[in-house]
Structure 1
Amino acid sequence: MTPRVTVEHLFGALDTVEAVVTLPTFRRPDHLIRTLDSLAAQTTTRPFAIVVMENDDERLEGRDAARAWFEHTDRTGIVVVAHERGNCSAYNAGWETALRHCPAMTHLLVIDDDELAIPEWIERMVGTAEKLNVDFVGGPQKPVFEGENGARFARHPVFVPHYAETGRVPLLFSSGNVVMRRQVLETMGAPFLDTAFNFIGGGDSDFYSRAKERGFTFGWCSEAPVMETTPARRTETSWIVARSLRNGAISAIIERRRGKGRSAWVKRQLKSAALLAVSPFRALRLGWNTGSAFIGIYHMQIAVGRFMAEFGQVNEQYRRPEQN
């Protein structure tokens, strides 16, 4: 029987690191190296390690690229293979590995293999968590568009950070740029992310929602962005529409998981109906502010996506990585 996670390589002294950066990868070996280089350039006095989670146990391009990078740079870290496909499975593999092999870890960070960290990223993220005394801190994922349509959609909500200012916030929604305290992982327990979200996304939002129910707190650091390479296909209208509908569907799915029974169902339907009713007015405001009618209809798509989820119509954008 194939193990769920295989620890392939360990580099350096792991028992003294205070921060661990977890980095999932799937068929982006070239960009993975760029991401690793940005982590190697961090300006921090905090001892840190990098855990690379290869999520393609067939080609293993990420594993091989990461192993060669560690051997060349002498950085501290671990390379693991997460055999179950899906982003939630990859995150779970990395987070479990960090807990097991890094006993002095106080904070765990997440960055994706299509992102680049600024040199102050680790210091600002962990420092903000300490200053705000919160359990989670998120940061902006700033798109770097490769296609010609990027400028048209730069102000679309699927690309705009959820918050603009540093400080405490009620909740986070993305795992592409986040730091959390070790206590969060120890309390929530493995598996941390629900693998039912592996191919639709939203496992991170579900995790945050459950963590909030357990009393964990959230913050935001606007001064610690990561630069997200955004390919041309993500500025095609079909991709943006699919992502918008999916966002709406995920919100309904998470609410359905939190509330059971007839009364919860009625409450959810009323909320979806209310969002649909006010969406034309929100669309007018958003379209006016952005100068784009297409961007304006985002709130309508969110409401429609919520209703679609009730009938099991959820787009698995991560099922076909070549189209994502």
Structure 2
Amino acid sequence: MLISVCVSTYQRPEGLKRLLDGLNQLTFSKCETPNLEVIVVDNDSTGSASALCSVKEKNFNGVLKYSIEPTRGISNSRNKALACINKDTNFVAFIDDDEVPASSWLDELLFVQQKLDADVVTGPVFPHFTETDVPNWVLKGKFFEPTHFPTGHPLKVAFTNNVLIRFEILRQIHIMFDERFALSGGEDSHFFMRLSRAGYKIVWADTALVYEWIPQNRTKMKWILRRGYRCWSTQSLCERELYPSIMVLSIRACKGIGLISQGFCLLLPSLVLGQHAIVKALLHICRGTGTLAGLAGVRYQEYKVISGIQNDRKPSTSFRSGC
């Protein structure tokens, strides 16, 4: 059995190193040890991750491929990764370059897939704060704690920060990650919601653990509120397109209005309860506003092209795969 693990990266050398080290230490006890290939797609046209991948390739337990996608955008890099995988692969996994999997991560995903004959299996992502002095209100508010479901719980969406996909179903899909979401994020929500709508089985694996490195700049109120707005806006954009019935959109609109109303109701008591409660109230308002904005077709581009970055530079020719 062959599993292809896809990684998109952009100027995160330390994170990518941690991830590759973690992937190199995967263990298997519940399932037969598979053959492994890891595809790293560098979304930096200068090929800044090339040297690191070249070093890691020498002692890697499996095949390590490296390629460059010069066109900025997360959809573009994910699609490039899918284009680079071995066509004889059985499963495709996705994980982010600021994450590290538990050693049993892939074993748990495979075990649940085999047990339930699922098309897609996804699991939790736990926070790992890079700074020791994390603000108390962040911890008390649990803003980075993952959602939990019982293993096997059916879902209508998954995300590329921790997921396993049966490769057979990818052969049947014309459009993979929609490039309209390249700079806004949410391409994974749209992709997996399409799979769910097509009848494919998505389930949860609560023991397939991944840890996300949370830098200090993400433990700020502005970042948390902005991410809340974007994520709920993206969800609405996807539902607006994939489930365009008046009933579905009306329910979504009511959710948005309800969140805003709830947020304003919580603001006054939050002044007594503390900063975590204030941020939670504001987060309700941001999520509700994002919900309504998405329904109106507003697309918030979180990953805009950085000023001064040139996308038309020639890729590095060192350590290139045949993909």
Distance 1:229 1:264, change over 3 A: closer
Distance 1:188 1:153, change over 3 A: farther
Whether 1:28 and 2:15 are equivalent positions in the alignment is no
- Using the TM superposition, give the Cα deviation of residue 150 of structure 1 relative to its aligned residue in structure 2, in angstroms: 5.3
Q: Percent identity?
A: 23
**Corresponding residue of 1:317:** 302
2:49 corresponds in structure 1 to 62
Shift in Å, 1:30: 2.4
**Alpha-carbon contact 1:138-1:172 (below 8 Å) kept:** no
Structure 2 partner of 1:73: 60
**d(CA) in 1 for partners of 2:94 and 2:118?**
16
| 1:48 maps onto 2:33 in alignment | no
> Out of 96, 106, 109, which is 1:112 matched to?
96
In the alignment, structure 1 residue 168 sits paired with structure 2 residue 153: yes
Alignment of 1:106-185 (within 5 A): 106-147=90-131, 148-149=133-134, 151-154=136-139, 156=141, 159-185=144-170
Native 8 Å contact 2:157 2:196 kept in 1? no
Q: Say which is worse superposed, 36-45 or 66-75, in terms of deviation.
A: 66-75
Cα gap change, 1:84/1:110 in structure 2, threshold over 3 Å: closer, same or farther?
A: same
Q: For residue 277 of structure 2, what is the aligned residue in structure 1? A: 292
Counterpart amino acid of 2:40? V
**Structure 2 stretches lacking a partner, 5+ long:** 308-323
Kindly state the Cα deviation for residue 118 of structure 1 after the two structures are TM-superposed.
Answer: 1.1
CA distance in 1, matches of 2:7, 2:82: 10
1:206 paired residue number:
190
Give the direction of change, closer, same or farther, for the CA distance of 1:321–1:38 in structure 2 (3 Å limit).
farther
Cα distance between partner residues in 2 of 1:110 and 1:138: 10
Q: Are 2:234 and 1:247 equivalent residues in the alignment?
A: no
Structure 1 residue 149: Cα displacement? 3.1
Shift in Å, 1:268: 4.9
For residue 145 of structure 1, report the CA deviation from its aligned partner. Answer: 1.2
- Are the equivalent residues in 1 in contact too, given 2:235–2:294 (CA < 8 A)? no
Shift of 1:299: 2.6
Quick check: 1:221 aligned with 2:205? yes
CA RMSD of aligned residues (A): 3.0
Q: Between Structure 1 and Structure 2, how many residues are aligned?
A: 301
Cα deviation code 1:105-125 (max 9, x no counterpart) = 221111111111111111111
CA distance in 2, matches of 1:181, 1:286: 46
Classify the secondary structure of the residue corresponding to 1:77: strand
Deviations 1:194-253 (A, max 9, x none): 111112111111111111111011111121211111111111111111101112211221
Q: 1:262 & 1:123 partners in 2: Cα distance?
A: 42
Distance 1:88 1:119 in 2: 28
Report the counterpart of residue 4 of structure 1 in structure 2.
none
The verdict on how the C-alpha distance between 1:305 and 1:69 changes in structure 2, with shifts beyond 3 A counting, is same
Alpha-carbon distance in 1 for matches of 2:268, 2:204:
29
Q: Which amino acid aligns with 1:319?
A: K
- SS of the residue 2:49 aligns to: helix
Counterpart amino acid of residue 207 in structure 1: F
Alignment of 1:186-197 (within 5 A): 186-189=171-174, 191-197=175-181
Say if 1:142 and 1:252 are closer, same or farther in 2 by CA, change over 3 A: same
How big is the shift at 1:151? 4.7
Q: Distance in 1 between matches of 2:61 and 2:202?
A: 34
Alignment deviations for residues 150-183 of structure 1 (CA, whole Å, 9 cap, x no partner): 5532465752223243222222342101111112
- CA distance in structure 1 between the aligned counterparts of 2:267 and 2:115, rounded to whole angstroms: 37
Q: Aligned AA for 1:20?
A: S
TM-score, normalised with respect to structure 1 = 0.82
How far apart are residue 278 of structure 1 and its match? 5.0
1:240-286 CA-partner distances (Å, limit 9, x unpaired): 11101112211221122124587876665445334444555788999
Whole-Å separation in 2 of the counterparts to 1:257 and 1:231:
34
Q: Structure 2 CA distance, aligned partners of 1:219 and 1:281?
A: 35
SS at match of 2:6: strand
Residue segments in structure 1 that go unaligned for 5+ positions in a row: 1-16
